[in-house]
Structure 1
Amino acid sequence: MRASMLKVLGEEKYLYFFDKFLEYFFTESDAQCFASLGLNAIRLPINYRHLEDDMNPRVFKKEGLKHLDRVIELCAKHGIYTIIDLHAAPGAQNTDWHSDLGVHKALFWHYKDFQDRTVTIWEHLAEHYKSNPWVAGYNPLNEPTDPKHTRLVEYYDRIEKAIRKVDDKHILFLDTFGADFSAFMDHPGLPNTVYACHDYSSFGFPNAPEVYTGTDAQKDKLKRSFDRKIQYMKKIGGPIWNGEFGPVYADKSDGPDFEQTNEVRFRVLEDQLQLYDETASSWSIWLWKDIGFQGMVYVDEETAYMKLMKPFLEKKKQLVIDAWGCDDTPVRDLFAPIAEWARNAAPSFKDRYPKTWDEKRFIARLVREILLSEELCDEYASYFKDKTLEELDELAKSFHFDHCQQRTKLNEILRAHKGN
């Protein structure tokens, strides 16, 4: 997408737009609102590409930490601790889209150089933030998908030693994919380290197995899922931190019953938070801001960006090319026969990693979420063609807190459970 934008805008406008976007995305108004909810810590996901280039590895950009420094300072001013999360590492530590490789492979686990570069990145970050008391700690890899699992245990041992040589004060927050800590069960746990789970429930997403009404059986399912994810933390007697969770929400484009849908999902959220209260588990919800899908705040539909992109966003939704929490109803009948054909041709799909996916999930990933999505990047970028710097500023400013709506009930629920 960025390559398409660069092609349309040229370097000067491209750099200007994305710099302004990051500036407006989190300002003091955001920090003030977050703190007003009684929340005291926020997880900041970052992409390694802000720090170095693949064609110039291990050479850190002078401007690479500009916005991260700015946000950490704003949060500190309002009493908010920050946790730095490397969401996208060189080579992609995860098979998913959010690792920003563009393929469905986690090459991080196949090439030592990617691992070495990530260690160097964390040495760089630890040196920079080692004296900052408002940085609560470091989340070295988001949801790493190591099919063998054992390599992850070894890598965490390695990166802990590397960071501790530079910074022996800050907490490490270590998580896995699918909260699968089975390979860690014989590990005693690292010092000054919090092992983290992510606790999404299918009840809070489109195409849920059933409508959530809070029955005893449904609550028990939530509890069993969470208990499985925190088994290792209990074994070593460590603290529990849930680094990501939360439903997605419907809007009026999803039909006349969208408000009822959201009430169901708020109930899922409340029952999850009750579990966290009962187990003294700390948490960081996903996420703070977006364009109306899951965020605590979201961009108003009357802003310049939302009005400009409305046709493309509607098309994207009908094609179901987003990878996260989408309703596949518009294309289900088209893809069902392909999935059946693949399942019959290769029953071994059931054993393919990650095992929580089936052939339907893999086909959606490769065909819609990678191939078709990539092909539509130029169409997305075309909406920015011939925009002036002033117009680009207005588009970026759509993401300023002053141009956003709060998801009021979500924030009220979080405020009521802020104790952890």
Structure 2
Amino acid sequence: MPALRVTGSHLTDPAGQPVRLRGVGLGGWLNMENFITGYSANESAMRTAVRDVLGDERYEVFFDRLLTSFFDAADADLLRDMGTNCVRVPVNYHHFESDERPFEIIEQGFRHLDRVIGLLAERGIYSVIDLHALPGAQNQHWHSDNPTHVADFWQHRHFQDRAVHLWEAMADRYKDNPWVAGYNPINEPGDVRGQVIGPFYDRLVKAIRAVDPGHVLFLDGNTYSTDFSIFREVYENTVFVCHDYALAGFAHGGPYPGYTRGEWVDRSTLEEAFERRTAFQRETGTPIWVGEFGPVYTGNPEIDAQRYQVLRDQLEIFEAHAAGWSIWTYKDVGLQGLVSAGGPYMERFGDFIAKKKRLGADRWGSTMEESADDLAPLHRLMDTEFPSWDPYPWGARYQIDDLLRHILIAQALVPEYAELFRGCSEEELVALADSFALANCGRRQPLIDLLTESIAANP
């Protein structure tokens, strides 16, 4: 069966029938994130610290087992039973290429990716391969495995060359796989000046097409997939991907409907935001696919009921516009996932995760109020001395929190996380990893039911 193709404003199958991809993002797996698996700061810093504690052999035991347990046949079965037909699979370039040996593809790195693509294909579920962390970091935050607030990818041709080379290898590997729906080459790019990304996309599209002319390309806009003015042409067989997080659904989100940081959010403003973020797709007559969206949950029944309403309204808006979607995220330690880890991992790391929450060390889990009294003098100083300072991408308040809490404090916490592995036997490491196996996870059943019902009601 040939791969899916873009036909006008739809994806179509080999019979020419429209296909709307609706599913989940497999965050925290081949691209780990701090709020998803419970560590702090960025993935590479965490892995280095844990390796120093465990040693090479036991390090490999834990992380290989974690990747195996995090997604296996039972997870694929759950997604099939929900009616989903796609999984967006974020990956970190470190699995496929080493900074010490650039341009040398690591064959072993494909083992788990091939396994999961196969599991999904057996159940009729497409995969979208998403390069979530590029050499040099393509955006300013932890999810591109960035230890700083600078996206060096856009400043160094070397990093861009490596990304092109990696995608040529990816495209060559999967060019004949019909269950790979396509390639999402750059997650949430953050080119500050917006001058490099357009020409780079031209180059990257040409390079991938030379190897694999058939698969769909899923291209994110600049500024975290919100700005599509950087595209200089509408490439053939391409979906331009928007991300549509609702302000009221953030960890610091206010009541819904209601005000979040001075901005009113209700059903109509959600639709206005969606229409603004997808104007390019409608103007160009290309498919609408929301690559990421989804609220953060708190454990407070009243607040979470509002978060479910945010999601319900978004899904209805997507359906009204015939938009496909991939909700963020499938599995984590309790903040946002459909399912969440339990067992020995949460017993060992639960207090550490609580400390991170108290300090607001994770951007995605922060309410922006943690340690507010400690940081208030600095916020006042910056407001007074630099009232017009508006740093990319989200302004002064976010930048200060990113630098102080989500980088400085988060990095200070990394050794503390790693030390919790100290003295673990191989058997204990396996048990920690297996805490992420579906059989040992709790299910956020209202979320699963809401998504399942939405798909069933709109086949």
Q: TM-score range by the shorter chain?
A: over 0.9
Question: Which of 215, 218, 221 is the equivalent residue of 1:173?
Answer: 218
Residues 222-237 of structure 1: pairs in structure 2 closer than 5 A: 222-237=270-285
Counterpart contact for 2:87–2:127, Cα < 8 Å: yes
> 2:98 & 2:228 partners in 1: Cα distance?
35
Q: What is the letter of the counterpart of residue 381 of structure 2?
A: W
Q: Distance in 2 between matches of 1:233 and 1:218?
A: 24
Q: Which residue number corresponds to residue 308 of structure 1?
A: 348
Q: Is 2:185 the counterpart of 1:147?
A: no
**1:296 maps onto 2:338 in alignment:** yes
Kept in 2, the 8 Å contact 1:184–1:232? The answer is no
* SS across alignment from 2:295: coil
Identity value in percent: 42
> Cα–Cα, structure 1 residues 217 and 334, in superposed 2: closer, same or farther, change >3 Å?
closer
Cα shift readout 1:85-125 (whole Å, capped 9, x = no counterpart): 00000000011111112000100000001000000000010
2:381 to 332, 341, 344: 341
Q: Distance in 1 between matches of 2:433 and 2:365?
A: 25
Is 1:262 aligned with 2:304? Answer: yes
Indicate whether 1:243 and 2:291 are aligned. Answer: yes
Cα displacement (A) at 1:310: 1.5
Q: Does 1:131 align with 2:168?
A: no
The Cα shift of 1:157 comes to 1.2
How many pairs were matched up? 407
What is aligned with 2:392? Answer: 353
In 2, distance between residues paired with 1:133 and 1:219?
38
Q: Which residue of 1 aligns with 2:96?
A: 51
| Deviation string, structure 1 residues 295-324 (Cα, Å, up to 9, x no partner) | 011112xx0000011221111111110111
Distance in structure 2 (CA, Å) of the matches to 1:143 and 1:180: 8
For 1:329, the equivalent position in structure 2 comes to 369
How many Å apart are 1:210 and its aligned residue? 4.2
Aligned to 2:316: 274
- Aligned partners of 1:293 and 1:150: how far apart in 2? 36
SS of equivalent residue, structure 2 residue 334: coil
State how far apart, in whole Å, the 2-side matches of 1:17 and 1:390 are. Answer: 10
Paired with 1:231 and 1:272, the residues of 2 have a C-alpha distance of 16
- Alpha-carbon distance in structure 1 between the residues aligned to 2:68 and 2:292: 24
Rounded to whole Å, the distance in 1 between the matches of 2:426 and 2:369 is 39
Which residue is 2:24 aligned to?
none
What does residue 18 of structure 1 align with? 63
Q: CA deviation at 1:55?
A: 1.1
Equivalent position to 1:375, from 412, 434, 452: 412
Distance across 1 between alignment mates of 2:100 and 2:224: 32
- Out of 234, 244, 250, the position equivalent to 1:205 is 250
RMSD (Å), alpha carbons:
1.6
Question: Which residue of 1 is the match for residue 39 of structure 2?
Answer: none
Unaligned runs of 5+ in 1: 252-257
Task: Assess if the C-alpha contact under 8 Å between 1:83 and 1:138 holds in 2.
Answer: yes
Please state if 1:85 is matched with 2:130: yes
Measure how far apart 1:37 and its partner are.
0.4
Q: Deviations over 1:67-96 (max 9, x none)?
A: 000000000011110000000000000111
Secondary structure (helix, strand or coil) at the match of 1:181 reads coil
**Aligned with residue 196 of structure 1, among 241, 246, 250:** 241
- Unaligned ranges ≥5, structure 2: 1-45
Rounded Cα–Cα distance in structure 2 between residues aligned with 1:207 and 1:217: 13
More strand by share: 2
Q: Contact 2:360–2:368 (CA<8 Å) still a contact in 1?
A: yes
Deviation of 1:209 after TM superposition, in Å, equals 4.5
The residue type equivalent to 1:353 in the other structure is Y
Cα distance in structure 1, aligned partners of 2:91 and 2:62: 18
Range 393-402 or range 150-159, more displaced: 150-159
**Distance in 1 (alpha carbons) for counterparts of 2:73 and 2:251:** 34
Cα distance in 2, alignment partners of residues 138 and 376 from structure 1: 35
Contact 2:141-2:149 at 8 Å conserved across structures: yes
Deviation at 1:340, TM superposition (A): 1.6
Deviating beyond 6 angstroms after TM superposition, the runs of 4 or more aligned structure 1 residues are none
Give the deviation of 1:213 after TM superposition: 6.7
Q: Which piece of structure 1 moves more, 271-280 or 149-158?
A: 149-158
How far, CA to CA, are the matches of 1:296 and 1:224 in structure 2? 27
Letter in 2 for 1:322: D
Residue 178 of structure 1 deviates from its aligned partner by 4.1
| Map of 1:255 onto structure 2 | none
Whether 1:100 and 2:142 are equivalent positions in the alignment is no
Give the drift of 1:180. Answer: 3.1
- What is the alpha-carbon distance in structure 2 between the residues aligned to residue 230 and residue 374 of structure 1? 36
1:169 and 1:417 mapped to 2: Cα distance?
A: 31
**Structure with the higher helix share, 1 or 2:** 1
Tell whether the 8 Å contact from 2:220 to 2:242 is kept in structure 1 after alignment: yes
Shift of 1:218: 1.5
1:221 deviates by 0.7
User: 2:40 matched to which residue of 1?
Assistant: none
Give the Cα separation in 2 of the matches to 1:396 and 1:40: 27
